[in-house]
Each structure stands twice: as structure tokens, then as C-alpha cells.
Structure 1
Amino acid sequence: MTSQSSVKTLLILGASGDLTGRLLLPGLARLAAKGRAGGLKLVGAGSDPWTPEQWLERVSTSFADSLGQADPAGKLELERIARSTDYHQLDVTAGGELGALLKQLEGPVAVYFALPPQVSQKACEVLTPEEVPPGTRLVMEKPFGSSEATARELNNTLVGLVPEDHIHRVDHFLGKATVLNILGLRFANTFLEPVWNRNYIEKVEVIFEEDLALEGRARYYDGAGALRDMIQSHLLQIMALMAIEPPATVGERDLRDAVSTVLRASSIKPPFSTTSRRARYTAGSISGRDIPDYVQEQGVDASRNTETLAEVRVEIDNWRWQGVPFILRSGKAMGIKRKEAVITFRPVPHLPAGFTGVDSPNQLRIGFGPDTLQFDVDVNGPGNILSLDRATLNAVLSASDLLPYGEVLEGVLTGDPLLSVRGDAAEDCWRIVDPVLRSWSNGELPLEEYDAGTTGPASWPGSP
């Protein structure tokens, strides 16, 4: 491992873009207001010819909520960052420009590529190792590459510039509190670990269904779709955490080794007509909002056949999970907002005669953002003591006091890559979905439709 030291300067490339204003700067503001960005210098850079006043207005606007809630020390820190920040116009894909800026900044520097993936890759390709000061950290947004081959190519480019432990492949979907909540649930309870295997678990579902539609993101989303956007990155990472063997520690080395071991054993097996499904929303209504047909959204190319709802069945070929399907599903413009993992246990082998009612398989539900826990069990009564009824045990799990991007930035600033996807894992995630994507692009699976505001196509069986 390379020795780590705290970042002195955060350089955001794409500073005038939507990601910076909507997510990055508010995340940084909450982090700084909590006193966890000590002495950081913020620098913005982009292709737009912004004046210092325009950049300061963006920073001030993004900091406003945290400033209003901060204690006196937090307010002073936020004001210090805003007072000292500056903006540089540059073309990151032009040789020498980014390197020249890096040499002007106090190091160590964290370079956050808040840019389209192809621009980020070009920017890294034109950088030379000599232009990257020691200690520099490179922060890459998803998608990391567009296939296993391109992810490997990008990995090779990055490790030619900085060591692997100075590369942060961002997964803001999976916060630190969520990671530790999953690990604590699994490995701190002796009643769970003995049944956390193929002998007792029938299936595991990881579901991210949102009630938001395209929301003006056609430029990115129409070239990606649900499988690339969510399942390839975020949901496979959650699946791996649900399936890992007990690590020795929760340090990044042990944990990320365990995650990579699971991903290497994972695959989506053909025929993909039975192990994958895809659909696209049509016009509908969500909570009183009229949602247009996806293909009528501005910037959408209907000929791409981009899916807005995808589901795959992943198999993990190892001793613990052989034969247990891991169902990963993500969709937009859904009628019910769901972000959870559902573990369905096998039914009891025999129910003593005399009981009435329905004996349903036990389910454990782990909700994400906010993190919750629900355990469905069958109990006697109420009323007839011989009648089985379903009861749910509920708990609220620990939550972070930071915004998701604040958690990401804290890991970057302190050199903790726990929430970053390691290079080999990024390649394996693409290896898992690449065959499905090829099959879909060849038209081997029909693109179904569902009305916005529903739970998906009528032909898809409902989930519990």
C-alpha cells in the first residue's frame, strides 16, 4: 500500500455541470460544516468561460442549506472555502493543460472527474505520469468504461498515472453506513450466519425502483439504460456484500478482497430469454404528474431500444450459494418506490397438522436510504391460537450524518477507498453483464412496455 496523507486541494473538473452543482458541492458543504474537510482548498475547472463571480455564485448557492444549519465553527469553515475558491477555464482533453494546472495547486490534490465518461477517459489518456504530482488521487464517476475490455483499458491508463489505492471509482449509491449495516447484520448475529446459505435461503432480490422518469438526463441515460446505469455497478456491489464470506476485518483490503471473490464466481447464464428481462415505460401518471412516453422525451433516440426497466438472474457458483438465484432489478417511472434487498427463506419442511392459515416463507428485508430492517415471521393468532398470521418485526438502522456524495468525498480526502470499486471488481461487473448486453443488442430478447406509474409489464410476475 502507498502511504496516504490528507488531500489539501479538491479540483473538480466539469465544475459548471449539473453533477457538481446538484450533488458534489452540497455533499462537500455538509462535510465541511461537520468539521471534516479541514483546511481544504476548492478549485473548479471547466470548458465554460465562467467568471470568478459565476463560480462563487454556484458555490454559495450549493452551500446555502448547510450554511443555514451549521454551528458557528461550521459556518466559518464554509465561508473560508467559499472565500478562497477559484475557477479555471481549460480543455482537459488538450495535452498539457490539466498537467499545468496540477502543478499550480497545493498537493496532495484530488482530481474529481465530474465529466461524461468518454471525456474523463480522454483526459486521463493525454496526461503523462510526469504531469501528475506525487500523492494525487483520481476520482472517476460511473460508468467505469462501457465493457470489460474498455474498463481494463481505462484501468491500465489510470495505474500508469497513480497507484491503485489512489484511484477512487465512485459508488455513491452504497454509503458507508449501509455497508456497515449489512456487515453488522450478517456477522454480529449468530442466529443468521448458520442459515445464510443455499440450505435455508430460496432466493435473494436486490431492487431499485424509482418513481422518477428521465428528468432531462437523456444525454447520458439513453446511451446507457437500466442494466448499465444501475445493475452493472450499484446492484452487483450490493449483491456481493450480501453474499461474501466473513472477512477478518472491515478494512478496505479484507472487505474488497471478499467482494471481488464473490464477483469472480458470479455470472448470468444463457439462455438470456429466461435469465433476463427488459422493458421501457410509455406515457402514464405518477402521483398526479403526467409522464410522457419515453421515446417522446427530448434527446431520446427510439432506435436505440434503451430499456428503463431491467431484471437479471445472477448465479454465484460457490459452495455457499450454488443454486440460489440472485434477482437484480432496476427501473424508472415506477408506481412504487423501492430500494431494498429481500431475502426469502425456504419454507419449513413440515407443518404439524392442526394449524390453519397460510404458512408463508420468512422474509428479511433490508431497506436502503433510509436504512431499515423488516423481518416477516409467522406467529399464532390473534384470535384463534391455531391460526397462523404474518407479523413483521421492524428496526431503523444507523444513518450517516452526511449526504451520499459527502461520504464519497470524505473517503477521497482521507485516502480511505472503502466505498470505491477496486479495478478488478469494475472489470468483473462488466464481464457479468456483457453477454446479456450483446444478446439484447442482437434483438434476441423483446423490449416490453409498461405504463409509467405501474409496477412493470403485465407479463412480469409481481415481487413480494
Structure 2
Amino acid sequence: MPATPASLLVIFGASGDLAQRMLLPSLYGLQHAALLPAGLRILGTARSEYEVAAFRDLVADAVRRNVPAADVDPASLDALLARLDYQAADSSDAASMQRLGERVTALRNGDVLYHLSTAPRFYGPICDALGAMGLAGPGTRVMLEKPIGHDLASAIEINDGVARVFDEDRVFRTDHYLGKEGVQNLIALRFGNAMFEPLWNARHIQQVQITVAETVGVEGRGDYYDTSGATRDMLQNHLLQLLCLTAMEPPARFEPTAVRNEKIKVLRSLRRIGRNEVQAETVAGQYTSGAVGAKVVPGYIDELGHPSRTETFVALRAHIDNWRWSGVPFYLRTGKRMARRSTEIHLQLKSVPHSIFDPGAHIAPNALTIRLQPDERIELRVMSKTPGLDRAGMRLSEVELDLDMHEEFADSTRRPAYERLYMDALEGNGTLFVRRDETEAAWEWVDAILDGWRAADVRPRPYPAGTWGPASAIAMTERHGHTWRE
């Protein structure tokens, strides 16, 4: 039975950094586009004490700082502010939670979406408090931010805490990559076009590369990042979600259960990389001082202020042991302070089985590259005749068929990821959210890698900021006759 659009959104952590940078500006975008449910009220809550007027000033300032000035419409901003209310609360203080519960009861006029934009250790206590007050029954749902734990055991503990109060079909775990236009376009490209599916398998594809490269450093998040690292922060969620969407079988329908059933099959088919495999199949790195975009930047340890073995880069060679992908390596890499910002999925097809051209003619394998950021485009590399007359035989050149999504859809508004995710969560559509079994299967696979590193005493290899990571990451692919796309 379809969910009813929420009449009340309660944001825990409403004064925090994520809320100010992404959540509140996204709600403004939905307001400006007239996409919020009619009559929706928004209740902010955090430990900070604010009068309602002061909270509205904070929201207005966050919108003006994080939305392009040309897009800030005073009437739309005023309409958003009119929806807002605020009630301070601390999950460890029963009296303050009781006052929050009374405010929720007073504002509620239908379904409620609770968005827990807090540290995950608070998810269980917040859900317990909501349940104890009778505010987590039918007609309510909860939206959670990553990371769900720092390993499998902690993920299970957090999920159990939420599950004591909310049924799984009312839990919306956020991976903001799934809200990006480019990621959703991957689904459209694969399953909306007949030309790709016959080639999307081990018979025709030689290798797949998935890269999420950042030019930024830890940017003031050193205390968090040093307990996380690239593997927990990026590989366990973003990269594995991109892997699932690239490799999954066609779902019967584009709806939550069907899509997530196919993603979990991919995660359960991933070949384990454990103690016997980590040194050959994985590389950990940590950036040192260097130059990014002609700007000299310090190394990770310099930014952190103390020695650390936390990896800021990870690359690995994964295999999916099923009929579609048997034998095809999936190279995954992510890192900070790399040469350029890029998120892309690159599929290299196998070479033609026999060349009819001159023996000296170079025929490069066809390749499909789906760029997700900073620009969204689809590139198909094919061989073409080089123009001109040549008695020595036909000369071939590699050319790109390039679709620039921004140019093609210049008249369409590009939506931030949280606008999509908020709209879906408010309406009860869980297709672009992560199910519990996905989260735990991903952690189980990643935990084996981390355990292998500990057992082998793996130390991250240094790489200068502004490069593509340690040389050993290049060697890992070249041992198998492949090269990273740069």
C-alpha cells in the first residue's frame, strides 16, 4: 500500500553542519519548485537552545550561504520559513525528549518523517525515546545518515536499535550518491536502452573501473576521518553502491524491493579479499605534501598534527562470482588530494576477435565511460576511418561519441542529491535508499579487507598530493595487463 506523504518532518541535528550545508538548502529548493507536500510542517531539533525566530534566522542564513544568489527567491524563502518550528532536545535527557514529543504531537496531522542527522550512536536512543512516547507507530518512518557503524558488529548493533522501534520498510538509510542525477542516469542508461544489455557481461567486457577521486583533504574533519579512513568513509558505501548498480541484474520493476533485491545479490557474489589476498589485490595509501591545482598543500599527517596509519587512498581488484561477470576484474579506487575531482564508471570492452585491416593498424578496444561528477557526460569510444587517401590501407583513429548531459538538458534544472532523497522519503519511496541487509553485507566484505591489513601489518603507501595515488596501485593493474584511466 503506497505511503501517505508526510505532514511533519522532524530533523534531529537541525543546527549541524550537514543540515546547514545540504539539508536546509535542499528543502528550500523543493519549496521553490513547489515539490514539498501541501501543509508540511518542519520541526528542527538539536541540543542548542533556539527561539523559533532565531532558528528561522539560522535557516535563512544557511540558504543564502549555500544556494546561488540568483536562485534565492525571497517569497520562496519566506514560505519555507513559515513551515518551520524548533524544539531543543537531548536524547540523554528524558525531560527534554518528553517536551519534544509533546511538540511533535501538537504539530502532527498525518504521517511523520524523522530525519536523524546525528552521529549514528544516537540512533538507537532516539528511536527508543520515540517508541516509548508512542510516536513511532504506523504512519511514521525514519531517515538515517551514513555511516551505519564502523564495522559489521557496530552496524548490526545500530540496526538492531532502530529495528526495535521501526519496521524495516519504514527505515530509509541514506547514501547521498544514490540521489545524484548521474547515478540515476546509470539506471536509465542500462535498463532504458536495448543496445547496452546484450554487451553488459563477461563475454564482451574486459574490465570495469570505478573511481571516486577528490582533490580536497580532510577539511577540518581530521578527528572523524582518522578513525574512519577511505575504506570505511567511501569504499563501504559509495563505491560499493556504484558497483551494485553497474553489475546488478535487471530488476523486474523500478521499485524498492525489486531494485534492492538485485543489489544484495551482487554484494553476496563479491569474492572475499581476506588475509591471503589483501597484499596482491589491494593498495592503501596516504597523501604527503604536494600541489593540487598549482596550490601547495600539506600532507595528511601535517594536517592532522600527529602520526597516523589511516589510509586516505584505497584501490583494489574485485571479482563478482556469478554468470554475468565471471572473470571480469572490477577495479575500485578512491582517494583524497588526487590529481583531479572525478567520479566515473569506465567499462572497457574486449578487442575485436580478428582484424581485417593492415597488421600495423592499431585497433583500441571500445570503451564506455559514465561520468557522474564534476560534469555529467557519457562517452563512447569507437574506431573510425581517418579521413584522407592512403595507398597503404585504411587508417583508423579512436574517436569519442560524447553526450554532455548539461548541454543536452540545458533547459532542465539540475537537482542536488538531497532534494531527490527528501522528496522520496517524504512520500515513502525507498527505491534510492539502502536496505539493512545491503549495509551489513557491505561491511562483512570490507571487514575482511581491514582484518587482512591488520594481520599483514599493512601500512599505507605515501603518494604526493595532486597525483593518482601510490605507484603500487598502478602496478596492481599492470600486472594483469590493464591500466587505470586517467
Common fold by TM > 0.5: yes
Structure-2 residue corresponding to 1:451: 464
C-alpha displacement of 1:413: 0.9
Structure-2 residue corresponding to 1:91: 90
Structure 2 CA distance for aligned equivalents of residues 125 and 295 of structure 1: 40
Q: Any idea what SS the aligned residue of 1:221 has?
A: helix
Structure 2 CA distance for aligned equivalents of residues 350 and 78 of structure 1: 63
The structure 1 residue matched to 2:396, chosen from 388, 401, 405, is 388
Structure 2 CA distance for aligned equivalents of residues 70 and 288 of structure 1: 31
Structure 2 CA distance for aligned equivalents of residues 307 and 248 of structure 1: 39
Is residue 25 from structure 1 mapped to residue 24 from structure 2 by the alignment? yes
Aligned 8 A contact 2:383 2:397 in 1: yes
Comparing 155-164 with 386-395, greater Cα deviation is found at 155-164
The structure 2 residue matched to 1:288, chosen from 278, 294, 313, is 294
Q: How does 1:348-387 map to 2 (within 5 A)?
A: 348-354=352-358, 356-369=360-373, 370-383=375-388, 384=390, 386-387=394-395
Comparing 232-241 with 434-443, greater Cα deviation is found at 434-443
Aligned 8 A contact 1:344 1:362 in 2: yes
C-alpha displacement of 1:249: 1.3
C-alpha displacement of 1:129: 5.0
Aligned 8 A contact 1:33 1:66 in 2: no
Over 3 Å counting, the alpha-carbon distance change for 1:254 and 1:400 in structure 2 is farther
Consecutive unaligned residues in structure 1, runs of 5 or more: none
Structure-2 residue corresponding to 1:213: 217
Deviations 1:227-248 (A, max 9, x none): 1111100111111111111112
C-alpha displacement of 1:222: 1.4
Structure-2 residue corresponding to 1:161: 165
Deviations 1:342-383 (A, max 9, x none): 001112222125153422211100011333100111222134
C-alpha displacement of 1:281: 0.4
Structure 1 CA distance for aligned equivalents of residues 422 and 328 of structure 2: 36
C-alpha displacement of 1:153: 2.4
Over 3 Å counting, the alpha-carbon distance change for 1:87 and 1:198 in structure 2 is same
Q: How does 1:10-409 map to 2 (within 5 A)?
A: 10-37=9-36, 38-64=38-64, 69=70, 75-95=74-94, 97-98=96-97, 100-105=99-104, 106-107=107-108, 108-124=111-127, 127-134=130-137, 135-175=139-179, 177-270=181-274, 271-298=277-304, 301-303=306-308, 305-354=309-358, 356-369=360-373, 370-383=375-388, 384=390, 386-397=394-405, 401-409=414-422
Structure 2 CA distance for aligned equivalents of residues 67 and 411 of structure 1: 24
C-alpha displacement of 1:82: 1.0
C-alpha displacement of 1:444: 3.5
Structure 2 CA distance for aligned equivalents of residues 441 and 27 of structure 1: 41
Comparing 148-157 with 349-358, greater Cα deviation is found at 349-358
Comparing 333-342 with 184-193, greater Cα deviation is found at 184-193
Deviations 1:236-286 (A, max 9, x none): 111111111111211122111111121121134341111111100011121
Aligned 8 A contact 2:28 2:76 in 1: no
Over 3 Å counting, the alpha-carbon distance change for 1:9 and 1:352 in structure 2 is same
Q: Any idea what SS the aligned residue of 2:471 has?
A: coil
Comparing 284-293 with 428-437, greater Cα deviation is found at 284-293
Structure 2 CA distance for aligned equivalents of residues 137 and 400 of structure 1: 29
Q: Residue 212 of structure 1 aligns to which amino acid in structure 2?
A: V
Comparing 101-110 with 387-396, greater Cα deviation is found at 101-110
Is residue 413 from structure 1 mapped to residue 426 from structure 2 by the alignment? yes
Aligned 8 A contact 1:272 1:445 in 2: no
Aligned 8 A contact 1:281 1:452 in 2: yes
Q: Any idea what SS the aligned residue of 1:234 has?
A: helix
Over 3 Å counting, the alpha-carbon distance change for 1:169 and 1:224 in structure 2 is same
Over 3 Å counting, the alpha-carbon distance change for 1:82 and 1:55 in structure 2 is same
Structure 2 CA distance for aligned equivalents of residues 138 and 371 of structure 1: 31
Aligned 8 A contact 1:67 1:75 in 2: no
Aligned 8 A contact 2:120 2:158 in 1: no
Structure-1 residue corresponding to 2:479: none
Comparing 323-332 with 107-116, greater Cα deviation is found at 107-116
Over 3 Å counting, the alpha-carbon distance change for 1:130 and 1:53 in structure 2 is closer
Deviations 1:196-242 (A, max 9, x none): 11111111111100111111111321111111111100111111111
Over 3 Å counting, the alpha-carbon distance change for 1:124 and 1:219 in structure 2 is farther
Q: Any idea what SS the aligned residue of 1:459 has?
A: helix
Structure 2 CA distance for aligned equivalents of residues 179 and 171 of structure 1: 11
Aligned 8 A contact 2:144 2:172 in 1: yes
Q: Residue 386 of structure 2 aligns to which amino acid in structure 1?
A: G
Aligned 8 A contact 2:101 2:130 in 1: no
Q: Any idea what SS the aligned residue of 2:26 has?
A: helix
C-alpha displacement of 1:30: 0.6
C-alpha displacement of 1:89: 2.1
Q: Any idea what SS the aligned residue of 1:255 has?
A: helix
Q: Any idea what SS the aligned residue of 2:49 has?
A: coil
Structure 1 CA distance for aligned equivalents of residues 56 and 216 of structure 2: 30
Over 3 Å counting, the alpha-carbon distance change for 1:450 and 1:18 in structure 2 is same
Q: Any idea what SS the aligned residue of 2:9 has?
A: strand
Q: Any idea what SS the aligned residue of 2:472 has?
A: coil
Structure 1 CA distance for aligned equivalents of residues 365 and 181 of structure 2: 29
Over 3 Å counting, the alpha-carbon distance change for 1:347 and 1:93 in structure 2 is farther
Q: Any idea what SS the aligned residue of 1:124 has?
A: helix
C-alpha displacement of 1:396: 2.7
Aligned 8 A contact 1:93 1:119 in 2: no
Over 3 Å counting, the alpha-carbon distance change for 1:408 and 1:302 in structure 2 is farther
The sequence identity of aligned pairs, in percent, is 32
C-alpha displacement of 1:330: 0.6
Over 3 Å counting, the alpha-carbon distance change for 1:145 and 1:43 in structure 2 is same
Structure 2 CA distance for aligned equivalents of residues 67 and 272 of structure 1: 45
Structure 2 CA distance for aligned equivalents of residues 400 and 439 of structure 1: 45
Structure-2 residue corresponding to 1:463: 484
Aligned 8 A contact 2:208 2:347 in 1: yes
Q: Any idea what SS the aligned residue of 1:365 has?
A: strand
Aligned 8 A contact 1:279 1:308 in 2: yes
